Structure 1
């Protein structure tokens, strides 16, 4: 039996167990690949932090648009946490942040006014609540 590729490590052990006793003459031994330096720990995105806390729900506002996995949470004034931070991040990317401390994870009056402004611009029901439909359009409109 002729082997076309060089055998190394575990592959050599498997080949020997199957009765192959030699590699082809043209096979070269490859030097070990140096290990890459350890990467810095990945920063968890706002979306990942939110979804890890509340999970997702599949949402489709109408039959003429695609479905989307949105956070399984409804946000309103007084809420706080990772999902509020994610909503604030999306709002600031659509509308521009009102200041450096906007993405703070607290759904206060400023976040509420930004949610209502986004809903008005997206032709949604303006209620200041980030429910499935508002999540959907926050996550899809560029």
Structure 2
């Protein structure tokens, strides 16, 4: 009888442990899918991005604010056709960058590197809108 009670007690402990692990797994999933520090992210301006001049290209992550600044400039200030300002460097943004590069006479690889940043700086300075920031948050 003592071993049956021990076995029954062990089953209860295992059931409680399994339930606790299940709750922790669900809570962990919720914590991962909705970060506690999630904040609304807005596009930067070309002027702000000129300080670091990050290389922007398709497939590189975590560059949303500067990608959005380039998208907004190319779409609204430079007259390069419509480019969605979403902070994601996709085919539409690459095509707009290539159009800009061809228009200013630099190598048109669709990558925003040092030469493209110089040309963006010249273009926004001549138009007086290097500090323009797209007024809506990025759709993350």
Question: TM-score normalised to the size of structure 2?
Answer: 0.49
Structure that is richer in helix per residue? 2
Greater RCO (CA < 8 Å, at least 6 residues apart)? 2
Structure that is richer in strand per residue? 1
